Amino acid sequence: MRKRGNRIRRKTVRRTVISAALGCTAILGAVLAFSMGLHMGSPEQETAVEPALLTAGPRQLTVHVPEKKERPVPSFSFPTIYSPAAILVREEDGAVLAHKNADQAVYPASLTKVMTCILAIEKLGDLDQTVTLPESMFYRLYDENASMAGFQPNETVKAIDLLYGVLLPSGAECCIGLAEKIAGSESAFADMMNQKAAELGMDKTHFVNTTGLHDEKHVSSVRDLAVLLQYAMQNETFREIFTSSQYLSGTTDQHPEGLMIWSNVFGYVGYPAEVTGGELLGGKTGYTSEAGLCLASAAKVQGEDYLLVTVGAQGSTWPYPPHILDALTVYNALGKELGKS
């Protein structure tokens, strides 16, 4: 009897030990699973858990999204320039480095054609389609002494050729030809220009025509024009045209060998045009007696692209046009300043 009782007691002890071990294992497994669940999260979302969330309920997972930090704006002040209204911005984000009279109402003259060109690019789609330039529109342009690219009355030209004619030599016939092709009339196209300006937040701007020929109601500001230029430069076709020094159009009956078109800006400064720490990339000139000499330009300085808009400079365009001198002065000063850092 004693031996049998001992065997029973030994079996009871073994059962107790095994049960206890199994119980400990289960508890340990549950704790481990709970801990791993907290630290690993779901496969789709990995996130850190704040320490406070481990000790209090109900538990909530907090996703920490790092804030996008704005890039610092280089310290820069305009050197002495001829233009009474000017603004310099970084192309990438539109950050303003320097400005004077940036929101003053000004006449934009042919800087208007930046809007004419980018809007035409967006509305046309197929830039190989042709446009015929009616003879009737040339009479008014001759009377107003408008700048021309060199296309002739009744000439049928590809749209892409007219776009180069708008920006490089500031051809008024190209502007009106494109406007009538797209909207039926210049005034209807001007309405589209104003709608686009409103979309871009150009609240100091009102367009009456496509060319910038003087009209008291045709106004803008250098800040608005910088917004427009920054927007336009994001378009690959616009940028290609704006930064070209010359262009040979396709052949037509009036130009069987094509029409060679030259940039007004590079006609003054040569190509390539170096500035301190970089180069002048391109530009659009403008002039009326009321607006003065105007320039919207782009340059790469110390590896970064910048845009400069100046309006209202007075003086002769030969041999040293003050609006071109202003651009070179500003970009050279900027290159020296950035080169210090």
Q: Which residues, in sequence order, are CB contacts of 209 under 8 Å at separation 6+?
A: 112, 186, 187, 190, 215, 218
Q: What is the DSSP string of 57-98?
A: SS------PPP-PPPPPPP----S-S-SEEEEEETTT--EEE
Residues shown for the chain? 341
Q: Which residues are catalytic?
A: 110, 113, 170
Q: Find the radius of gyration of the CA atoms of the chain.
A: 34
Closest CA to 169 of 73, 265, 85, 288: 265
CA distance 173 to 162: 9
Neighbours of 30 (CB within 10 A): 10
- The answer to whether the CB of 291 falls within 8 A of the CB of 222 is no
Mapping DSSP to helix (H, G, I), strand (E, B) and coil, where does residue 100 land? Answer: strand
Distance of CA 163 to the CA centre of its chain: 19
Alpha-helix runs per DSSP H in the chain: 2-40, 112-124, 135-143, 159-167, 172-183, 186-199, 222-232, 236-242, 264-269, 322-339
